A and B are shown apart, each in its own frame.
Chain A
Amino acid sequence: MVNHRLIVAAAVLAGAVTLVAPTVWAHAFLDHANPAVGSMVPTAPEAVTMWFTQELEPAFTTATVTDVSGNTVDRGPAQIDPKEPTVLRVALKKLSPGTYTVSWHALSVDTHTTTGHFTFTVGGG
């Protein structure tokens, strides 16, 4: 049974290390977005809203939206919601049917960066 005690002891130690960590950093991952990642929406949205897993640093967090030709269609710059600093929003110009690419660069308040991009389609284009 020594082996079982060793497993438990190691698990407890690992858990304790996790819990007593004095300051934690983490990366801002995209949790979900509206329009949703890879979705098709019937009408043109007025903005793209993204929810992240960490609070964002306003000065160095960006998002751009482009059409299939690479033309910018957002009314940037993207804004972090002052009441909910995990939310990033970028307003859009009036979109025609078609597929659009959202590219984001997030700097969480602990200075870790993450990047990503996704598409959504308007009006079945």
Chain B
Amino acid sequence: MAFLSGSLLVNPIPARAVVAAAVIFLSANSAALAHGFAGDRFFPATILTDDPFVASEMSLPTATLNPTQSDGSRELNIGSDLSMLITPNWDFTIGSDWAHIRSPGLPTVTGWTGLTTGTQYQLFINAEHEAMALAALDVTWGNTGRLAAGAPGFTTLSPTFNFGKGFGDLPDSLPWLRPFALTGNLALNFPTLAETQGVPNPNSFFYGFAIEYSIPYLQSQVKDLGIGPPFNRMIPLVEFALTTPFNRGQSRMTTGTVQPGVIWAGEYFQVGAEMIIPTNSLSGHGIGGVVQLHLYLDDLFPHSIGRPISQW
């Protein structure tokens, strides 16, 4: 806008023409600036699995009470992560958790669980088919937290592919299925140390999915059922994520969780809550839970930290 203001000083361009040009320019870029839109579809930021879109956003906090582990320990995590747009299609992420672990017969352990960073590039957004995908490289940095609190002593590299697909393009004969959407993550984890103190650090495959049913989509695109606030902005969903090691003698030791819950998506932030159910005894037992407040920085701070560093 500073450029436009400067132009106004030296050129006799009608103000309305400049405003119209600015609107056209900004609206042409808004598909990339807006968080989680693909055509008619709005994808919320999911809690367990990563989003299929780049954005300026922040989760603060994500509070997780994990199910009891097989050794009887129970862990509370308070986490935050931040994503900032470098360009409209490229962002940088950083995050960390603080853990509070209680184990039977042992002193309580607290501390940071290590730093994670990542960079993501939006491969495409297809408005007609409500589809999008990105490629990412995530890094969990070794020795950046307290080992006793679960921080790794080695760095892990994770090339990742995230995708999202809304079902709004289903035939008119299937109207009640059109509010459904599927998002997913596929990643490989490569530890930079093969073992730590005799314990193997296997390579692993991470695969996570979220199945969502958008009440806002139902009411605005399919059938207005008269559902009022706050339910008219809710998106019930089920997330699940599994990790399967595939070498160093650790294969067949798949762990993961299934997390049914709901996200309420406002215009500047969203809140979500999910139950945590372990998929097997290796993943724990009992029930846990997670709640998250998630801020849309591109809407809250459009002229500063919410905008891409470069429009390139």
Q: Scoring A residues 35 to 61 as 1 if CB is less than 8 Å from chain B, else 0, what string do you get?
A: 011110000000000000110010110
Beta-carbon nearest neighbor of A7 in chain B: B63
Minimal beta-carbon separation of B62 from chain A (angstroms): 9
Using Cβ atoms and an 8 Å threshold, which residues of chain B touch A26? Answer: 267-268, 299
Q: Are B303 and A23 in contact (CB under 8 A)?
A: yes
Task: Give the residues from 1 to 58 in chain A that come closer than 8 angstroms, CB to CB, to chain B.
Answer: 2-3, 6-7, 10-11, 13-14, 17-18, 21-27, 29-33, 36-39, 53-54, 57
Using Cβ atoms and an 8 Å threshold, which residues of chain A touch B106? Answer: none
Using Cβ atoms and an 8 Å threshold, which residues of chain B touch A17? Answer: 58, 60, 295, 300
CB of B81 closer than 8 Å to a CB of A = no
CB of A96 closer than 8 Å to a CB of B = no
Minimal beta-carbon separation of A19 from chain B (angstroms): 10
CA distance A110 to B30 in the complex (A): 10
CB of B298 closer than 8 Å to a CB of A = yes
Q: Are A14 and B302 in contact (CB under 8 A)?
A: no
Q: Are B31 and A24 in contact (CB under 8 A)?
A: no
Task: Give the residues from 77 to 117 in chain B that come closer than 8 angstroms, CB to CB, to chain A.
Answer: 78, 80, 98, 100, 110
CB of A107 closer than 8 Å to a CB of B = yes
Minimal beta-carbon separation of B124 from chain A (angstroms): 17
Q: Are A37 and B78 in contact (CB under 8 A)?
A: no
Q: Are A37 and B295 in contact (CB under 8 A)?
A: no
Beta-carbon nearest neighbor of A30 in chain B: B220
CB of B248 closer than 8 Å to a CB of A = no
Q: Are A3 and B40 in contact (CB under 8 A)?
A: no
CB of A112 closer than 8 Å to a CB of B = yes
CB of A66 closer than 8 Å to a CB of B = no
Q: Are A10 and B221 in contact (CB under 8 A)?
A: no
Known: A3-B76, A37-B220, A115-B127. Is A23-B60 also a contact (CB below 8 A)?
Answer: no
Interface residue count for A (Cβ, 8 Å)?
A: 42
CB of B186 closer than 8 Å to a CB of A = no
Known: A10-B61, A10-B78, A26-B267. Is A113-B34 also a contact (CB below 8 A)?
Answer: yes
Q: Are A14 and B299 in contact (CB under 8 A)?
A: no
CA distance A99 to B68 in the complex (A): 55
Using Cβ atoms and an 8 Å threshold, which residues of chain A touch B33? Answer: 112
CA distance A25 to B31 in the complex (A): 14
CB of A75 closer than 8 Å to a CB of B = no
Q: Scoring B residues 261 to 280 as 1 if CB is less than 8 Å from chain A, else 0, what string do you get?
A: 00000011100000000000
Q: Are B27 and A18 in contact (CB under 8 A)?
A: no
Using Cβ atoms and an 8 Å threshold, which residues of chain A touch B306? Answer: 25
CA distance A116 to B166 in the complex (A): 13
Q: Scoring A residues 90 to 109 as 1 if CB is less than 8 Å from chain B, else 0, what string do you get?
A: 00000000000000000100
CA distance A105 to B78 in the complex (A): 40
Known: A24-B300, A115-B39. Is A60-B60 also a contact (CB below 8 A)?
Answer: no
Beta-carbon nearest neighbor of B268 in chain A: A24
Known: A3-B78, A17-B295, A111-B26. Is A118-B220 also a contact (CB below 8 A)?
Answer: yes
Q: Are B302 and A60 in contact (CB under 8 A)?
A: no
30 A-B contact pairs sorted by A residue (CB < 8 Å): A2-B100, A7-B78, A10-B60, A10-B78, A14-B295, A17-B295, A18-B268, A22-B301, A23-B303, A24-B300, A25-B298, A25-B302, A25-B306, A27-B37, A29-B220, A31-B220, A32-B219, A32-B224, A33-B224, A37-B222, A38-B222, A38-B224, A60-B23, A60-B27, A112-B299, A113-B30, A114-B37, A116-B220, A118-B220, A118-B221
A residues at B contact (CB < 8 Å): 2-3, 6-7, 10-11, 13-14, 17-18, 21-27, 29-33, 36-39, 53-54, 57, 59-60, 107, 110-119
Shortest 10 CB-CB contacts between residues of A and residues of B = A38-B223, A10-B61, A26-B267, A21-B300, A111-B26, A37-B224, A30-B220, A36-B224, A25-B302, A14-B60
